[in-house]
Amino acid sequence: MANCSEEQAKDSEWVMESERFINVKVDDGNIDTATTESTDRPEVIVNYQYVPPEWLQNCSPLGPVVRVRKSLDRFIKSHGKKLKMAIYTLLLLCYFSYFIGAMVYRFGDEGSIRLLVFTLLVLFFYAIHTMKRMFGNRVEAYFNTLHKERKYPSKRTRKVLLRLVTAYVAVVVIVVIIATVIRRDPYRLVPVSGIAIFTFCLFFFSKDPSQVSWRPVLWGYMLQLVFALIVLQTSWGYDLFDWLGKRVTEFLDHTDVGAIFVFGEKFTDHFFAFKVMSVIFFFSAVISILYFLGWMQVLIEKMALIMQYSLGTSAMESLHAAVNVFVGWAETTTLVRPLFDKMTLSELHTVMTNGFATVAGSTLVVYVLFGAPANHLLSASVMSAPAALAISKLFWPESKETKRDTSNDACVIKREGRNIVDAASIGAITALPIVAYIIASVIAFFSLLGFVNATLIWMGERVGLIPPEYPNLTFQLICSFLFWPLVFLMGIESRDCCVVARMVGIKTFINEFLAYEDLGKVIKNNQIFESYDGPWTRTSNCDVFLLDRNQTLTGGVISEHSVVVTTYALCGFSNITALGIMIGALTAIAPDRKEDIVRVSIRALISGCFACFMTACMAGILSE
């Protein structure tokens, strides 16, 4: 483009309309127009943008390059879909060539099985997605037609069939448990009675016992049981989650590359700050990439459908519970934010219970690094979702007056970022407040715990609570007595109850990080204790003293069964600290509902705690 001179203006094509002069330039089918209000002659227009004529463009040495580029643009624009399909086909052929080569070169080891399973799963879900896209509308129209013609079962008939199916599944699950577990070990009746006692207490103190719908409660329990049977009572289920746990640990070890670059080779000298916190950045970035690719959305959507149609909860509640399996409650609030104004008190209670009963994937890895078994953490994270829905609908049921149809509520999980690199950056940056929260909480509450214990020890000494005759009066000791009956009902062996009750108390009154840190120390004590064959004794504060070695295992030891049950019991954000944080966060996004949020918060915290306890009871029944 250049300024228009007197002679160049003569070469342009001008059309005069009354006092308005319009320059018309046709370039590859596109008409560019420029106007001026000047009443002067067009030959003397000065300082106006000028489009060179075609013959002048052709005279430029770069003219052929411009023409080729424009032709290429037109070709891509007109054949874009075919080119995209050709590229996808080429990439697919390349992958299958690699897949066949890998199977021929080395088949039978763990890596080849992993590649085979991954390929088959991708093909399976892609086939389902394709069939849904091609025939979904036809199938939906067909069922709508049957419903209009009354060939489809009536609502009353469907309700009766659902009750029959529920009863059948319940009987089958109970028979399997009695035949495979309780018959072999009658002590497993203790966590069964724990489920009954917890359910009765929650029902008795429910907001409105007369309005309780037992469908979500029973189906929530059954989903937990079925999942626990797969993980804890089948060799292939346990091996699958054990394999997944090892792969997760192996995957998280790649964080060391970034940590070494930033903090140096000796970064593990500050294990929690540099090793544990670095994992959160890495994992959060990976989750963000999976959301950008759309893979997480597909997985969450399927899980939400299962819970919605089995438990009978609304689409919003089911989706929120499914998302909480993978991300924290703070992130999931963005999903339900547009619906906060329409939520009933029961739905608001359910949303808060989901957050209290589950843990984020980014913090789940912290518990793995503390020493908790990764396979059981993964299992507990999934089992807590139906447990949260079941307990929340038992403790605060949906009343008939406020119940509404929420099946069509649209909760769309949006992608963030323009590309994979941008998505990874967003995920890493999003982890900053999580890391800050963890570090601040651990420093503050470790310090507060030290102050409280020092004060309690001083108070205990005033009345004669002095070792070795009596244990020191500490917060942990108080919790070991306060939560002893609860952990006993979960199936913890009586000799381990004081140790596990201490951890559950720390988790409830402080946070789960300190509780899992305590569990990690006990697991290390177990390893030392297993290799020791000499005499030992248990101290008054549950520590174990090895007489031959003159060594004290601070924190005590527990059985492998108790380790598994404790892992499930601690897997949740239900603590006093999280209560204040959640009230503040939800009030910030829905200030008009502050009164309702505060109103349901205490009950939601209790529901979250008991959801974790119910999951622990399932593990207490079925774990070896």
What value, to the nearest 5°, has the Cα angle with vertex 535 and ends 532 and 538?
100
Q: pLDDT digit string (tens) for 311-326?
A: 777 766 777 777 777 6
Model pLDDT, residue 469: 75
Alpha helices in 234-276 (DSSP H): 235-252, 255-263
Q: pLDDT digit string (tens) for 49-86?
A: 445 555 555 566 666 777 788 888 888 888 888 888 89
Higher pLDDT, 315 or 216: 216
Token duo for residue 134: 């091609």
Model pLDDT, residue 157: 75
Question: What dihedral do alpha carbons 491, 494, 499, 501 form, nearest 10°?
Answer: 60
Most confident of 154-168, 180-194, 260-274, 499-513: 499-513
Q: pLDDT digit string (tens) for 142-159?
A: 766 765 655 556 667 777
Model pLDDT, residue 486: 93
Q: Is 470 exposed, middle or buried (0-12, 13-18, 19+ CB in 10 A)?
A: middle
Token duo for residue 607: 């529901």
Domains of the chain: which residue ranges? 2-78, 80-137, 190-397+411-436+581-622, 439-570
Model pLDDT, residue 8: 43
Model pLDDT, residue 240: 79
Rounded CA separation 586/463 (Å)? 45
Rounded CA separation 306/328 (Å)? 21
Q: Is the pLDDT of residue 370 over 80?
A: yes
Beta strands in 42-197 (DSSP E): 49-50
Q: pLDDT digit string (tens) for 436-473?
A: 776 877 788 778 888 988 999 999 988 888 877 777 88
